[in-house]
Amino acid sequence: MQPAELSAVEIVAAIRQGDMTAVQCTEAFLDRMARLDGSINAFLKIDREGALATAAAIDARRKAGKPLGPLAGLPVAVKDALCTRDLPTTCASKMLAGFRPPYDADTVARLRAADAVIVGKTNMDEFAMGGSNENSAFGPVKNPWDLARAPGGSSGGSAACVAADMAPVAIGSDTGGSIRQPAGLCGITGLKPTYGRVSRRGLVAFASSLDQIGPMARSAADCALVLETIAGHDPLDSTSLTADVPRYTDLLEQPLTGLKIGRVPEHYAEGLDPEVRKGVDEAFAVFEAAGATIHDIELPHAKYGVPTYYLIAPCEASSNLARYDGAHYGHRAEPGRGHRAESAKGDQAGGESQQFDSPLVEMYCRSRGEGFGQEVKRRIMLGTYALSAGYYDAYYAKALKVRRLIRQDYLDAFEKVDLIGGPVSATPAFKLGEKTGDPLAMYLVDLYTVATNLAGVGGISFPCGFTKGGLPVGFQLQGPALAEPLLLRATDRFQRLTDWHLRRPKQIA
């Protein structure tokens, strides 16, 4: 069997048993990357040399009878928002082009310690801001199911990479849906753990109170395998949870009888594509047949999720991205067009409407103006505005209050049900360019996912069907804090009863 046809669980077992070497496995995936990524653009950096060296070292240790980590030989692609010491970390931005951090993210360190093979860094929306991976400074990612369509974002590269079997698992990050939505549009499984379950140290921050790292793979079982390694308390992340990490892989096989799944009528508003609706309804039916009961519940403040998110996230981002100023690292504009005194002579190409008080201020403004893309600038501007004197109460403080109402909705709902089910995206994968003209239209792709981050709870998405046009339809389960075992086993049960998750895109065999 080709490694690309195996699950992560199977790959790890095969390597441990000696049925396959780590080098063979890594080679197989590297070959696929070489053949396919030209048309998909899922990777910003493929580390052929480093990956093979790691794989060879693992093979040598296995031969010598030395103990190996739980992910030994498993190729993993890492979203370029996580710091890797040996590979550039760009967040798909010109601001950090070529930037090499002197340290690994906690997640990356744990993966390495588990003997995973890091094969490269995946493309993303710049600084994790976007829902289609069209905001990358290094070109958009194409959806492997239809190269004219977007894979979703911001972890579009990670999603496409798994969907095209260029790696069995990938690491993504999710601030308002950036794991779950692309997983849904690409037909794979993606988990956003409870806030604080996985350390954020080394994840380039977008919105600190919302960001969370998570696994993306073909199945819940594969996600569980990776989550076991990357979850856990990190004393160097103040927001990291101290709760023990369960053996997620051991907790998968349990029947669903008695499981109560909530269904939110509000989700089924006009904007919901009928084929998505059909897939979602069928998914509920599968859960019912498996012994779960479905209950209608309310999330009364659901409609305020997107505006709340699009205040809190940009406000935090405007501060988190202030460090990108060209002073200590990252892009610095070439000196020279001069500040107030010279520019008063008036020959400015580009017609700058700003005058700069000093060369330093000019350096800041031009470095950031050149280094950041449009969406990033928009959000920085929005966040700066909403935090500024006179507006704080009406916008940021207000949003924090609505956040508490949204969280309370979840706490109330989870008194009645164990999980909440529903769509992850209102439409299947949309065409590239379809939403880029209207920022608000793009923001609304996060409709079903932002509340999970606002409430700090966990969510998972997985395929539940296909449109007539052959595009994946995704289903989302959300659970209370630390309900990862439940989310994973419910999904795993679904994936034993269906085979949507095993489908591969034909277009790029």
Partner 1 sequence: MTKPAAPTSEPYTTVIGLEVHVQLQTKTKLFCGCSTAFGAPPNTQVCPVCLGLPGSLPVMNREAFALAIKAALALNCRIASFTKWDRKNYFYPDLPKGYQISQFDLPFSSDGWLEVVDPKGAFSRKVGIIRVHLEEDAGKSMHDEAAGTADTRIDLNRAGTPLCEIVSQPDLRSPQEARAWLNELKLLLVYLGVSDCNMQEGSLRVDANVNLHIPRPDGSVAKTPIVEIKNMNSFRSVERALTYEAARQYDEWQATGAELGKTPKQTRGWDDPAGVTRAQRHKEESSDYRYFPDPDLVPVTVSEQQIAAVKASMGEPPTVLRTSLAGTWKISAYDADVLVNQGRELVAYFEDVATRVGEGKVASNWLQQDVLRTLNERGETIDAFPIRPEALADLIGRVQKGDFDTSRGREIFAEVLASGRTVDDVVASLGIAAVGDDELIALCRELLAANPKIVADVQGGKEQAAAGLIGQAKKKNPNVNPAKVRQTCVDLIKAMD
Partner 2 sequence: MTLARKDVAKVAMLARLALSDAELDTMTNELSNIVGFVSLLEELDTSAVAPLAHPLDTQNAFRDDVPAASLTTAEALQSAPRHDGECFLVPAVLGESGAA
Find the part of the chain contacting partner 2 (CB under 8 A) among 94-102, 121-129, 261-269, 414-422.
94-102
Q: Decide the pairing of beta strands 117-122 and 75-79.
A: parallel
With contacts defined by CB under 8 A, how many residues of the chain interact with partner 2?
Answer: 77
Question: Which 349-368 positions form the footprint of partner 2 (CB under 8 A)?
Answer: 350-354, 358-366, 368
Q: Which DSSP state fits 155?
A: S
Cα–Cα distance list, 303 to 49, 268, 392, 393 (Å): 48, 12, 22, 21
Least separation in angstroms between CB 364 and partner 1: 6
Burial class (CB in 10 A: 0-12, 13-18, 19+), 503: middle
Least separation in angstroms between CB 445 and partner 2: 14
Closer residue to partner 1, CB minimum distance, 139 or 359 = 359
Closer residue to partner 2, CB minimum distance, 253 or 438 = 438
Sheet strands side by side (includes 212-217): 43-46, 117-122, 75-79, 169-174, 212-217, 189-192, 458-466, 472-479, 419-423, 260-263, 293-296
C-alpha span between 212 and 172 (Å, rounded): 9
377 binds, among partner 2, partner 1, none (CB under 5 to 8 A by kind): partner 2
403 binds, among partner 2, partner 1, none (CB under 5 to 8 A by kind): partner 2
Closer residue to partner 1, CB minimum distance, 354 or 498 = 354
Q: Which two tokens stand for residue 459?
A: 């969510």
- Of the candidates 93, 132, 136, 154, the residue annotated as catalytic is 154
Spatial contact of 489 and 483, defined as CB atoms under 8 Å apart: no
For partner 2, the binding residue among 304, 414, 475, 494 (CB under 8 A) is 304
Closer residue to partner 1, CB minimum distance, 59 or 104 = 104
Cα–Cα distance list, 89 to 50, 65, 206, 240 (Å): 15, 35, 14, 23
Q: Is residue 429 a contact point for partner 1 (CB under 8 A)?
A: no
Spatial contact of 259 and 292, defined as CB atoms under 8 Å apart: yes
Q: Is residue 376 a contact point for partner 1 (CB under 8 A)?
A: no
Closer residue to partner 1, CB minimum distance, 208 or 507 = 208
Q: Is residue 345 a contact point for partner 1 (CB under 8 A)?
A: no
208 is catalytic: no
C-alpha span between 34 and 138 (Å, rounded): 18
Contacting residues toward partner 1, per CB under 8 A: 82-83, 89, 91, 96, 99, 101-103, 105, 200-205, 207-209, 235-239, 315-316, 318-319, 321-323, 325, 327-329, 357, 359-361, 364, 384, 387-389, 392, 396
Q: Which residues have a catalytic role annotated?
A: 79, 154, 178
